[in-house]
Structure 1
Amino acid sequence: MTAYSGSAVPRSRPRGVGTRIATDFGYALGFPFLAVVVWGIWSTRSTNRFFAGPLAIGEAFADTWIGPALLEDVLPSLYRLALGIAASIVAGITAGVVIGRLRWLRELLEPLLEFFRAIPPPVLIPVALLVLGITDTMKVVVIVSGAVWPILLNTIEGVRATDSVMTETADSFQITWWERLWFLVLPAASPRVMTGVRQGLSVALILMVISEMFASSSGLGYRIAYFQRNYLIAEMWSGILLLGLIGVFLAVVFGFVERRVLRWYHGMREVNRA
């Protein structure tokens, strides 16, 4: 057997930044491109008129959403979605920290939280219509009624899981309540909080569409339902495509924020792997 010296062993050269970005870009677009090709081939061979081809959907997308519908339907929907997400994050984290820190309050509210969490938010839409009327407030309330629960429950569990040794150390040094909250509780709970926010984003997008399908005259949900009722198939699919693009945009923004909020957490995981 031939022995090789350490200098003779070939070493793999690290990939450059450009190569890595190109590879990630290829992985990100490869499967969607393949799916579009398969969809296009299938639509040309299918006799079902409810499956429009990619070209027809693309034309309908440009004709429908690049114009007055952008101001009349898309931007109002995004505004209500943003308000619902912001209110859910503030309410979920605030209430979750308080409930998670106070054991007696957590035990008192646990049956009530489980009861309301089990109620599907869409069934509250008729109640919200009766109480709030056909207003933007009603739609935002519907979004919050569903999106707040993942954030709230994950925050409670994250606060409860705060390291007991660090808590006892904070007690021994008589750290103030505010310092303990800012430097101990919130950082310890932040991975679970961000998990709840990620889940809440998808719930909020779904409820935005559902709330606009009930007694509404504008918004993405209303417009998609209008296209469906009038058998405007390509336009209907273009609305679904737009919803998917909004979901991708939310995921990208969330990933950007998460990497900065949890920079310490991801760095610690990399150290543990090494």
Structure 2
Amino acid sequence: MRTTARRALVSVGFAAGLPALLVAAWALATQGTTSLYFPSPARVAQAFTRTWLAPETITGDVLPSLARFGIGVLLSIVIGVVAGTAIGATPWLRALLEPMLEFFRAIPPVVLVPVLMLLLGIDDTMKLAVIVSGSVWPVLLNTIEGVRAMDPVLTDTSRSYRVRGALAYRYFVLPAASPQIMAGIRLCLSIGLILMVISEMFASSSGLGYQIVYFQRQYMVAEMWSGILLLGLVGVVVAAVFQLVERRVLHWYHGSREVARG
């Protein structure tokens, strides 16, 4: 128990040590400064409390942004896994769609924002489309590759036991591809957070991206930095939740790797 607690304290210390050093260096660099563009951590913390902890900001900007992020990422995962499984398991379909997939993957999602605004308007549908247009690719391509590279022994085993159709995908195909699918989801989360902010910077009147741009245009620099800080905190929380889910989903995979390492 003591060893486990000690390891937990060491890991927490490593995780919090570098951010604490960076904040200390920031405070020393801005000590006594009156610069508008480089505020101190204390000013940013005050702006954070005043701006982002207000009930109207939470309900009007923060929660809608997080909802769009969650829905957009969920749609990307569902579309990517379903389409990727179908494409990866069908060689002729994969050969047919590969050039088109490479073409659309090379298009930056940001340049699609004006097109999506013309086609879908400026409501939440457009913002979700922007998130999905960029977040779906890591999941889709990793799923295709994971299904395509499935161990032939598993394929022969499923055929020997006559496990076919939905049962084969559930017990053989998707578990074998799950490490690569989870790697794609990790990228999907980070891309989705970026695109959530970008989608709210265009023709929007609410959301984290809108507020950050508004603060920048009004020369409210401390508030702008506080919005960036909030996005960083959201990213940390999302990464922590994903690690817990990944550990649970891939417990067999991590266990086999630990056994292989001895």
TM-score scaled by length of structure 2: 0.97
Q: Does 1:171 align with 2:159?
A: yes
Q: Distance in 2 between matches of 1:215 and 1:160?
A: 41
Deviation at 1:267, TM superposition (A): 0.2
Matched residue, 1:73: 61
149-158 or 20-29, which moves further after superposition?
Answer: 20-29
Deviation at 1:22, TM superposition (A): 1.2
Aligned residue among 111, 115, 128 for 1:123: 111
Letter in 1 for 2:31: T
SS of structure 2 residue aligned to 1:51? coil
Aligned residue among 57, 61, 78 for 2:44: 57
RMSD: 1.2
The 5-angstrom pairing of residues 75-114 of structure 1 reads 75-114=63-102
Aligned residue among 205, 212, 217 for 2:200: 212
**How many residues end up aligned between the 2 structures?**
261
Deviation at 1:47, TM superposition (A): 6.1
Q: Distance in 1 between matches of 2:32 and 2:106?
A: 44
Q: Distance in 2 between matches of 1:233 and 1:214?
A: 20
Deviation at 1:48, TM superposition (A): 4.2
Matched residue, 2:18: 31
168-177 or 104-113, which moves further after superposition?
Answer: 168-177
Q: Distance in 2 between matches of 1:89 and 1:223?
A: 28
The 5-angstrom pairing of residues 153-192 of structure 1 reads 153-192=141-180
Q: Distance in 2 between matches of 1:186 and 1:102?
A: 14
Residue deviations 1:168-215 (CA, integer Å, cap 9, x gap): 222233212222111111111000000000001000000000000000
SS of structure 2 residue aligned to 1:49? coil
Q: Distance in 2 between matches of 1:53 and 1:45?
A: 9
Deviation at 1:25, TM superposition (A): 1.1
Residue deviations 1:227-252 (CA, integer Å, cap 9, x gap): 00010000000000000000001001
Matched residue, 2:209: 221
Max radius of gyration: which structure? 1
Q: Distance in 1 between matches of 2:246 and 2:213?
A: 34
Q: Distance in 2 between matches of 1:164 and 1:232?
A: 59
Deviation at 1:24, TM superposition (A): 1.2
SS of structure 2 residue aligned to 1:156? helix
Residue deviations 1:45-82 (CA, integer Å, cap 9, x gap): 66643111100000000000011111110000001000
User: Structure 1: which 5+ residue stretches go unaligned?
Assistant: 1-13
Q: Distance in 2 between matches of 1:92 and 1:168?
A: 26
Q: Distance in 2 between matches of 1:205 and 1:43?
A: 30
Q: Distance in 2 between matches of 1:269 and 1:46?
A: 52
Letter in 2 for 1:137: T
Q: Does 1:239 align with 2:222?
A: no
Aligned residue among 191, 196, 203 for 2:184: 196
SS of structure 2 residue aligned to 1:162? coil
Matched residue, 2:9: 22
Q: Distance in 2 between matches of 1:213 and 1:81?
A: 14
Matched residue, 1:10: none
Q: Does 1:41 align with 2:33?
A: no
165-174 or 109-118, which moves further after superposition?
Answer: 165-174
Q: Distance in 2 between matches of 1:63 and 1:225?
A: 17
TM-score scaled by length of structure 1: 0.93
